[in-house]
Amino acid sequence: MKIIQVFINNSLRNFNYILYSEINNQAIIFDPTDIRVTRPVWEKQGLTPRYLINTHQHHDHIADNEAFLKLPDTELVKLKDGEEFFLSPTEKIICRFTPGHVMDHQCFFIYAGDEITGVICGDTIFNAGIGNIRGGGNIDTYYETMRDIFLPLNNNIIIYPSHDYFLNNLNFAKTVDPNNQNIQDYILKREAQNLDKEFMLTTIGEERIFNPFFRAFQSEYREQFNKTEKELFVYLRQQRDKW
């Protein structure tokens, strides 16, 4: 399978994703914000849009559900925690229940054979940050989701978040981790790009070195705050909300 990241140049800086089979060219569209933007992309690639999957029900993630489902031979796919979905006999995703940002949030793990290569994260993980909990989430549950589902992942797994908040998140991270040179290095990399046309994909391994919500699980970082993992995770979310 291959994945295309499509930037929706709106006020929320949404990303939409087109995940498609290299065998039959059928595609899943995740969280369609504006298919006027994504449709030319799949048409240029010669793909057949077949399936719609939402990570959660916030408006910017479902805004064009109805428009997409008016296209011929399209269907909404709803999966349970741990359920597999195959684009072809050898190409699959697995749904994981990831409450925190909202309590019905799901993420979708992309597989090559038996190996996870990437995660459609929705609003659970952003580049250098995580989602807020103002729209129906719970910080204690969020901590458990990060600890149990994302912390054990291999470093080479790519994350595919639903918004481009990378530079803003890095600038916040610098305020709570001022001695972390990795943060400054990535700020410079991101500032060197055209912020509306160029984007960086990051891995779990990279997130571990600059994302404060991953850093909260690292003892050398926690020692600066004299807090437990959970206390620090909650504190960082509170600080981000006020920033």
41 confidence band (pLDDT: 50, 70, 90) = very high
| Nearest alpha-carbon partner for 139 in 243, 13, 240, 211 | 240
Span 118-163, pLDDT tens digits: 999 999 999 999 999 998 999 999 999 999 999 999 999 999 999 9
Structural domain boundaries of the chain? Answer: 2-242
Distance, in Å, from the CA atom of 119 to the CA atom of 153, rounded to the nearest integer, reads 10
Give residue 68's identity as a one-letter amino acid code.
F
Question: What local confidence, expressed as pLDDT, does residue 75 receive?
Answer: 98
- pTM of the model as a whole: 0.96
Per-residue tokens: 50: 């077949």
113 confidence band (pLDDT: 50, 70, 90) = confident
* CB under 8 A, 24+ apart: contacts of 232-238: 233/139, 233/142, 233/143, 233/146, 234/139, 234/140, 234/143, 236/176, 236/212, 237/130, 237/132, 237/133, 237/139, 237/142, 237/213
Question: What local confidence, expressed as pLDDT, does residue 236 receive?
Answer: 98
How wide is the angle at C-alpha 69 spanned by C-alphas 66 and 72, nearest 5°? 145
Strand duo 75-76 + 84-88: pairing: unpaired
Considering the segment(s) 2-242 as one domain, its CATH architecture is 4-Layer Sandwich (3.60)
